[in-house]
Structure 1
Amino acid sequence: MLFRRAPADSLQQQQQQQQQQQQQQQQQQQQEVQGLECGALGALAAAAPASISARRALRRLTSLQQQQQLQQQQQQQQQLQQQQQQQLQQQQQLQQQQRQQLQQQLQP
């Protein structure tokens, strides 16, 4: 009878030890997860101002880029206008030359 109880007792002890180990593992995992969550939340909290400032910087950059594009477009338009004016002047000069030639031809 005593010999039969001993293995049963040892089985119970083993089961209890296993349960305790499992519980400890679960607690450790939970603590790790909680630690990770806290770390992630902390990282998010730390990153939030950075992301806000990054967004602001991006906005500034995009507005600067837009301004530069506008300036480039304006410069291109000005260059086009200058080219057109030059072409007009050249045409006028040509017309004057043609008139002069005609007048010279008409003179006796």
Structure 2
Amino acid sequence: MKKFITYFLLITASMIVLLIIVSRINREKSNSLPEVELLYENNISLPYPEVIKAYEMLDKRYREAKLITYGPTDIGKPLQLFVISKSKIFNPDQLRKKGYRI
């Protein structure tokens, strides 16, 4: 049950972050970003593989964004860290040393 809750929270947090990022990017570059169907308006959650695919798309599209595999979760899934950095520093330790919030 603990693993399920951890996995559920990871997916939920990922979806919320993804929705915030995608809506911000859509406002800034609505013509150049490929369409991502946002299902939250219909109260539908994206499956985990689709969330990761969307982050990968953002990683490829923007030099300031990077999707990093940060190790495994307690259920064996890769723990993904999505970093947005204007300075293009993506190492969490380096970002902390420079005073950036993670």
| TM-score, normalization by structure 1 | 0.26
Structure with more relative contact order (C-alpha pairs < 8 Å, separation 6 or more): 2
Larger Rg: 1
| TM-score, normalization by structure 2 | 0.28
